[in-house]
Each structure stands twice: as C-alpha cells, then as structure tokens.
Amino acid sequence: MITLYGIKNCDTVKKARKWLEQNAVEYRFHDFREDGMDTVPLASWLEQFGWEQVLNRRSTSWRALDQTQKDAMDNTSAATLANETPTLIKRPVLTKGGDTLFGFKADTYASFAK
C-alpha cells in the first residue's frame, strides 16, 4: 500500500493527491497535523536519507529557526524539531514498501506507482 504523508493544505501535496487520484493509484493519506507524528517513520527517513533531504530548507518553518539551530542541525535535532514542527519536513513524502520519495514530480510518481 502506498502512503502519502503531508499536510492537506500544502499546494504540492494537493498536486500529488490530484495526480494519484487522476491515475487511479490507491493510497492512504497521513496528515502530519491531523493524524499526528506518532506513526510517521521519521527516524527511518533520517537514517536512510539524512536531515538534509528530509527537511525543507526553503520553508518558512526553516527560516523561522535561529541560526544556532540551523548550524547545529543533525539527524537527532532534526527529529526533535520535525516532531514539534512537522512543516519542516519536505512534502509530500510518498512511501511504498521500503521505498520513499520526497517532493512531487509526475514522471517520478508514474514509475514509483507501478
């Protein structure tokens, strides 16, 4: 089963959901805010990809961090901050089995969803 993680009002998440629905891809949506972070495999993502790929450094949440937090960022601090502020996570996150994609690109989704 494919799971799409994100926040329902995020424009990129909306595009991903629309693409999945238009292409008749069955998926489960997990909203970081509404469904919580308890079942999000954040630690696994950080271990596999590193905080640099998991966190969205162009987000307003990232810009709101003070420079000391940014300079000291590592997987441990990223996990703590992302659990407190899920909008720091690059969205959407698409998972299927052990595979994970960050962001949305239609051509990548097409090959991933097969």
pLDDT digits (tens, 9 = 90+) for 53-80: 999 999 999 999 999 999 999 999 999 9
Neighbour count for residue 45 (Cβ, 10 Å): 24
Find, among 112, 114, 90, the residue nearest to 13 by Cα. Answer: 90
pLDDT at 113 over 90: no
**CA R_g for the chain:** 14
Please indicate whether residue 68 is annotated as part of the active site.
Answer: no
pLDDT at 16 over 90: yes
Identify which has the larger pLDDT, 98 or 22: 22
| Whether the Cβ atoms of residue 94 and residue 15 lie closer than 8 Å to each other | no
Tokens of 50: 């590193």
Catalytic residue among 4, 6, 10, 40: 10
Of the pLDDT bands very low, low, confident and very high (cuts 50, 70, 90), residue 109 is: very high
Distance between CA atoms of residues 12 and 82, nearest Å: 18
Mean pLDDT of the chain: 96
Distance between CA atoms of residues 54 and 39, nearest Å: 16
